[in-house]
Structure 1
Amino acid sequence: MLVTIVVPCHGQAHFLREALESALAQTYSHIEIVVVDDAAPDGALAEAISGEFGVRFLRTPRTVGPGPARNTAIAATAGTYVLPLDADDIIAPDFVERAVAILVGAPELGVVYCDTQGFGPDGGCTWEPPTGWTVRDLIAGNRLPNSSLYRRACWEHAGGYPTDLFLCEDWDFWVRIARAGWGFTRIPEYLYFKRHHDANLTHQIHVRYGAYARQIRFRHRGAVGADRVVAFDTHAASSGSR
């Protein structure tokens, strides 16, 4: 089954080679990679690098943000599974293969996430996302990284990524998937590596996080079935909710 790796790029073209190298190094061979230039000043460089690697390149007519940029790529592709990968981040060679194997064996699950290792000039923190959380927990705060592999059906059921959030769009997307009844599971290993630098959106989130968090919590207030557990240990995936 085909996996679409979506790489939105806006101002990170100088990191893009490393991201594409990690995507092309996957032990799972049935993949397609799409780079989306979000109308960035360094778009020509992103296009040139994409050409070097022989991957598909798309461009948005104006800057729309990472969520709509991902929507553009997903709508233009046909992968059964989708993995978002920011242009300045890296994934381990076996992440896609292991995540796909889990979803193939557990039809009630929609999303597979993993632990995150930060890296950069000053090092980086680690993040070991929890399991056992409910829809309400996810509404209260994001529980998983944006580079998590999910079924295309999840994207369809969620209505795609939100188009009105320039930051935290992945958090809102995960909530919508959970509310649609899909389960989540974690691979408890560091398979996703997030680069820390002043220009990335994660740094900007710390400045504007509060406003976006309030918006997400408000729009999902009163969610039906909010106390339903949706995140399971990998070994217990068969007990999922769907």
Structure 2
Amino acid sequence: MPQVSIIIPAYNGERFIAKALDSILAQTYSDCEIIVVNDGSTDQTAAVLLPYHHQIRYVEQPNRGVAAARNQGMALAQGELIAFLDQDDVLLPNKLALQVECFAQHPEIGIVHSGWRLVDAEGNRLADIEPWHEAPQLDLAGWLKRMPVLLSAMMFRHSWLKRVGEFDSQFKQACDVEIVQRLIMLGCQTAWVPEITVLYRQHDQNDSLNTLVQAEEVWTVQEQFFARSDIPPTIRQIERECRYYTLVWIAWRLYHTGHPTEMSRYLEKALSYRPSTRTEALMQWIELFQRYEAEYGKQFDVQQLTQSPAWQQLVSLLVKPG
């Protein structure tokens, strides 16, 4: 039995999936199996994977979405530990070794997390994301306030995934956030490996660019979470704060991907969760947008935002008397 099962859900991944596989085969840790679930690709993904068939477990299924593909991979996995890798991401050489060692040192934990490097389509560095600085303790409060989920940068104890159940296939963009929330509510503990271990590729076909779906799903996941009756009182006390920052982050994602009207709608909703004046809220939104943009290695154009019709309409709405 392999110690680690690495699951790659593949859908029309002909462009990058070979690089993802090569990065696994180049790991300093080798006690692993690679499971690739082809989720009904219509491009040359199957042909690209042919040379790797003696090194991977390959299965095909009709297109049912990334959650269903991951669930299929988990059903086949034999490893004690589970890692997920998106078809366009790349593992750095010590990723598996570092995280397996962390599990060995901390038998009580169910998740190991690490940082990631944003790169462009050609692999050029954009920015390093080191979430442990803002969320040093990934307890339930830490996850909810920051929710730094990137499955490619994580590793899970298989027994915990069996306990929590499958990814929720109703979600196309937020099934990862939803399953992590369920794990933490069950008492699953997380430890950091405070190093960059994966390259998270940004390109024009990223699923995460479908931010209209992403926004709706992220908010639905949070609504479902806070509708639970078993939330600890300490978490209930930070509910409004969590909702506020989630809405502002969603608004930035929408603006970042060219949906200013929808951005305004989420910012209006955020205002109801923050006891600040409306002028203070406007200033804070600009500051947060700048911070989120900087995390992606980009300079935020404040003037472009504040002069946009959507922002001007938002300002006029918020400064109305009463």
TM-score by length of 1: 0.86
Question: Do structure 1's residue 7 and structure 2's residue 8 form an aligned pair?
Answer: yes
2:218 paired residue number? 213
Instruction: Look up the match of 1:47.
Output: 46
Q: Distance in 1 between matches of 2:203 and 2:222?
A: 28
The answer for unaligned runs of 5 or more in structure 2 is 236-322
| 3-state SS of paired residue (1:172) | helix
Instruction: State which drifts further: 6-15 or 126-135.
Output: 126-135
- Matches of 1:123 and 1:198 in 2, distance apart? 16
**What is the aligned residue count?**
224
Aligned partner of residue 6 in structure 2, secondary structure: strand
Q: Give the secondary-structure state (helix, strand or coil) at the position aligned to 2:16.
A: helix
Aligned equivalents of 2:146, 2:216: Cα separation in 1: 13
* Counterpart for residue 127 of structure 1: 129
Contact 1:124 1:196 in 2 (8 A): no
- Within 2, Cα distance between the matches of 1:199 and 1:75? 28
- Measured against aligned partners, the alpha-carbon deviations of 1:143-198 in whole angstroms (never above 9, x if no partner) come to 23111111111211221211110111111111111111111111111111111011
Amino acid at match of 2:107: P
From the two aligned structures, give the one with the greater helix fraction: 2
Structure with higher Rg: it is 2
Q: Within 5 Å, which residues of 2 pair with 1:80-159?
A: 80-121=80-121, 123-130=125-132, 131-147=136-152, 148-159=154-165
1:191 counterpart SS class: strand
Match of 1:202 among 208, 214, 229: 208
Identity, in percent, stands at 23
Q: Which has the higher contact order (CA 8 A, sep 6+)?
A: 1
> CA distance change for structure 1 residues 123 and 160 in 2, over 3 Å: closer, same or farther?
same
Give the match's secondary structure for 1:52. helix
Alignment of 1:180-195 (within 5 A): 180-195=186-201
Q: TM-score, normalised by structure 2?
A: 0.65
Which sits farther off after the overlay, 9-18 or 78-87? 9-18
Residue 196 of structure 2 aligns with an amino acid whose one-letter code is Y
Q: Which has the higher strand share?
A: 1
User: CA offsets per residue over residues 17-47 of structure 1, 9 Å max, x none?
Assistant: 10000011111111100111111212xx322
By how many angstroms is 1:140 displaced? Answer: 5.0
Query: Aligned in 2, Cα 1:19/1:86: closer, same or farther, shift over 3 Å?
Result: same
Counterpart Cα distance in 2 of 1:217 and 1:17: 35
